[in-house]
Every structure is written in C-alpha cells, then in structure tokens.
Amino acid sequence: MHKVTLPEELRVALRQRRGRDDVFPSWTPARTALLVVDMQNHFVAPGALAEVPLARGIVPNINRLAEALRRARGLVVWIRSTFAPDGAQAWPMFFDNFVTSAEARAALRLALSPGQWGHEFWPALDIRDGDLIVSKTRFSAFIQGASDLEPLLRQRGIDTVLVAGTLTNVCCESTARDAMMRDFRAIMIEDANAARSDADHLAGLSTVVQVFGDVVTTETALARLTVPAALSA
C-alpha cells in the first residue's frame, strides 16, 4: 500500500475554491457502488506480466469496503479487463501503438483473455454471491461499448461510485473521470488504489480531486457508509 497522501497545499487550495473539503461530503449508502478495478492475477500476482506489487497491500481495505457496502445495501462490482487475441476486443489502438513488440502484444492479450490465469481475480478478494462481475474492453468501463456497467448501475438506482483497484493513474483514474462525466458522483479511495510508483499514484489522485470527484481514505468511506441512509444526502 502507498504511504503517500495528497499534499496539504492542494487540499487547502481546493478548500478555498470550494468552501469545503469534499464536493460530496455524504452519500446514501444504498445508492452507492464500490467499483473494484482490475484486481486480477495479471496485475496483482508476484511475477505476473503487468505486476503492480503494491496492489496486494490494498486487498484488506477493498474487502472491508465491500463488506460495508453489502451491510449498507449498496452494491459491489468487480471489474476486470478482458481482451482477445484478435477482433474488436484486441484493442489495436492501444496494443499496436503502446506495446513495443508483437510477442509482447500477443502475451498481454492472451493473459487477459477469458479462461487464462491472468484474467482471473486475485484469490484473496472477498467476492460474494450478489456482487456483480463486469468485463471491460477499455481502460474505463464507462466508455461506450466497453462494458454494460452504466446500465447495470442505473437499473439499481446507483448515483455514487467509490473507485478502488489498480492502476490508480490508468484504469482507476479513467473510471472515476468518466463516472463523473456520466453524472455519477465519483470518489476515489486513496488507500485502496495502487500504482507502480508513489508519483504515479499521486498523479492519478491529484487529477481526479481537482475537477472530477473526491479522494478519501478507507476509514472516511467506512464512516460514511455506516450513516443511516435517511441522514445522508
């Protein structure tokens, strides 16, 4: 888990601009979803192709948040990257331009294909019956055609999303940004996200907190989820 936190000078500047610490200081728990992004073997397991070592350290916080959402009658959604060796789900725009070799492109696509070990969720995650599992074919599950996440949330009356997972500055940041752009209240959980470096982690959080949503700790989120729905906005 990252030990860094958003700089106080940024928090002060935002407080002065907004007149309060958080854009969304309270939530209705039953209308809140925890979106857990890409906590798959491909990213979490030691020695995996795209290993993010610090992702293993956020698992306890993710599990605590998931349990709190279930008790509050909210929703837990486990989101996984899913690609294919060819066709539309091969995402050539990314793999063919941002991955250097054909061999590496093939290995990465295969690792995140259904049925592969890399595509499976990290086994320490507390995934339960009643949770949703959503596959996505882009960094953000809110991109048109990337997944069915948005209609699933709308059908359940969700208006607030808590974003956790990996990588903070890629799929998690993209998810939080697009959630706000689709009129969901977006909150990133500072100590339930992980990137490959502290700098990358803070970069993702800093972008979101300035114009897309809030960034709070697991403890703050848990406290808000225990507030009776009738008392929360």
Q: What is the pLDDT of residue 114?
A: 95
32, β-bridge pairs: 160
Number of residues assigned to the chain: 233
In this structure, the number of other CB atoms found within 10 A of the CB of residue 127 comes to: 16
Amino acid of residue 48: A
Map the chain to HEC letters.
CCCCCCCHHHHHHHHHHHCCCCCCCCCCHHHEEEEEECCEHHHHCCCCCCCCHHHHHHHHHHHHHHHHHHHCCCEEEEEEECCCCCCHHHCHHHHHHHCCCHHHHHHHHHHCCCCCHHHCECCCCCCCCCCEEEEECCCCCCCCCCCCHHHHHHHCCCCEEEEEEECHHHHHHHHHHHHHHCCCEEEEEEEEEECCCHHHHHHHHHHHHHHCCEEECHHHHHHHHCCCHHHCC
Per-residue pLDDT of the chain (233 residues; tens, 9 = 90+): 899 999 999 999 999 998 899 999 999 999 999 999 999 999 999 999 999 999 999 999 999 999 999 999 999 999 999 998 877 788 888 888 999 899 988 889 989 999 999 999 999 999 999 999 999 999 999 999 999 999 999 999 999 999 999 999 999 999 999 999 999 999 999 999 999 999 999 999 999 999 999 999 999 999 999 865 434 44
Question: What pLDDT is stored for residue 231 in this prediction?
Answer: 43
Per-residue pLDDT, 87: 75
pLDDT at 112: 94
Task: Give me the pLDDT at residue 93, please.
Answer: 87
| pTM, two decimal places | 0.94
Give 8-231's CATH code, choosing from 3.40.50.850, 3.40.50.10860, 3.40.50.720, 3.40.50.1980: 3.40.50.850
Residue 220 confidence (pLDDT): 96
pLDDT at 204: 98
Question: How far apart are alpha carbons 131 and 70 in whole angstroms?
Answer: 9
